[in-house]
């Protein structure tokens, strides 16, 4: 190697030295940040995992006990074997000579919940569109009343609503459970707030194309509000599916009772069969779980829109 080549090598090394030092410094900083992120997430998971397990534990116990042999129900946390006997007892009646209204109660719960949930979405979208897009007198007053009514304790209206249902001759019928939940002011408020963010030019363009207001609502506004609609539907479905107090008050006929009411009133001869009670409770949680898994992506998007 000549002196000239040696000098060029030394110069190149001198030029690369700062770069090497900067690269090593960046690597040390990145490594330190990774460790900091690890410890930060470690404490987060250390707290979140036990809380998550505590939340899942009751559902796990419910499901496991529904599959337990009847002589082991509530005697051990995890039974030595599993059986479908409790579910067969619900489906067939078990041969004990006792009335088994489980399937009828499940049908009643599904009927009442689906009708109310769909009605809340449709009425909420129509009224929310009118209050946010259509100009008319008294719109601000109606919005103020809806906002006030949302904070009004609904338990105060329980007795007047019951008296109206009884006077109308709807006591002990499906309509007594359905009618009071057909409209949700919260859903109207959510749709009103969201539709205000939609560009008026978009709505005007649809009108120029000849679309009616109803067509704009169902073919344009609702698809745009898919995330909000999912949030509203899931929350209303869950609230109506788990309703107990109102259904317990207005329905006494076993053929009209919902599954929640049936579970709350199963004493007497049924207390000897806790396995079917756990099985019915498991069935009661399945629709909410399935709906959330199916609409989880739209649900997350809807929650993000709400929090903005």
Residue 8 pLDDT level (bands cut at 50, 70, 90): very low
Mean pLDDT, residues 205-212 taken together = 88
Distances in Å between the Cα of 127 and the Cα atoms of 66, 166, 221 are: 44, 28, 12
Residue of 229, 199, 249 lying closest to 291 (CA atoms): 229
pLDDT above 80 for 191: yes
pLDDT of the residue at 162: 92
Contact of 191 with 127, CB cutoff 8 Å: yes
User: First and final CA of the chain: distance in angstroms?
Assistant: 68
pLDDT of the residue at 7: 45
Could you tell me which residue, 303 or 173, shows the higher pLDDT? 173
Distances in Å between the Cα of 110 and the Cα atoms of 60, 113, 122, 272, 286 are: 24, 5, 18, 27, 12
Q: In terms of DSSP H, where are the helices of the chain?
A: 3-66, 85-92, 102-132, 139-150, 158-167, 174-178, 185-195, 200-208, 213-216, 222-224, 226-241, 245-250, 259-265, 274-294, 296-307
Mean pLDDT, residues 173-183 taken together = 93
pLDDT above 80 for 244: yes
pLDDT above 80 for 241: yes
Residue 120 pLDDT level (bands cut at 50, 70, 90): very high
pLDDT of the residue at 29: 53
Contact of 250 with 256, CB cutoff 8 Å: no
pLDDT of the residue at 175: 94
pLDDT above 70 for 34: no
**DSSP category for residue 219:** I
Mean pLDDT, residues 262-286 taken together = 73
Q: What is the mean pLDDT of the chain?
A: 80
pLDDT above 90 for 49: no
pLDDT of the residue at 32: 64
Contacts of 209 (CB under 8 A, 6+ apart): none
Mean pLDDT, residues 42-48 taken together = 76
Task: In whole angstroms, give the CA distance from residue 20 to residue 42.
Answer: 33
pTM (2 decimals)? 0.76
Mean pLDDT, residues 284-291 taken together = 85
pLDDT above 70 for 292: yes
Q: How many CB atoms lie within 10 A of CB 116?
A: 24
pLDDT above 60 for 10: no
| Least-confidence region, from 1-15, 20-34, 151-165, 285-299 | 1-15
Contacts of 180 (CB under 8 A, 6+ apart): 161, 165, 246
């Amino acid at each position: 190697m000549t002196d000239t080549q040696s000098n060029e090598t030394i110069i190149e090394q001198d030029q690369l030295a700062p770069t090497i030092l900067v690269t090593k410094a960046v690597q040390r900083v990145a490594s330190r940040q990774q460790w900091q992120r690890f410890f930060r997430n470690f404490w987060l998971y250390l707290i979140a995992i036990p809380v998550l397990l505590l939340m899942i534990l009751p559902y796990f116990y419910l499901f496991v006990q529904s599959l337990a042999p009847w002589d082991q129900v509530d005697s051990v946390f995890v039974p030595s074997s599993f059986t479908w006997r409790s579910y067969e007892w619900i489906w067939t009646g078990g041969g004990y000579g006792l009335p088994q209204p489980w399937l009828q109660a499940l049908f009643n719960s599904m009927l009442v919940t689906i009708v109310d949930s769909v009605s809340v979405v449709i009425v909420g979208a129509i009224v929310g569109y009118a209050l946010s897009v259509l100009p008319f007198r008294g719109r601000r007053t109606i919005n103020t009343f809806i906002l006030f009514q949302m904070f009004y304790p609904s338990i105060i209206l329980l007795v007047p609503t019951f008296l109206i249902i009884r006077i109308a001759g709807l006591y002990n019928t499906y309509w007594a459970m359905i009618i009071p939940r057909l409209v949700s002011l919260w859903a109207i408020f959510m749709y009103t707030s969201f539709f205000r963010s939609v560009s008026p030019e978009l709505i005007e363009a649809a009108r120029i194309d000849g679309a009616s207001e109803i067509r704009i609502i169902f073919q344009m506004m609702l698809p745009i509000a898919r995330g909000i609609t999912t949030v509203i539907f899931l929350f209303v479905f869950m609230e109506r599916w788990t309703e107990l107090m109102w259904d317990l008050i207005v329905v006494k006929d076993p053929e009209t009772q919902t599954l929640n009411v049936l579970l709350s009133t199963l004493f007497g001869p049924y207390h000897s069969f806790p396995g079917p009670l756990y099985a019915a409770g498991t069935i009661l949680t399945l629709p909410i779980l399935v709906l959330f898994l199916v609409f989880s992506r739209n649900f997350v998007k809807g929650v993000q829109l709400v929090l903005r």
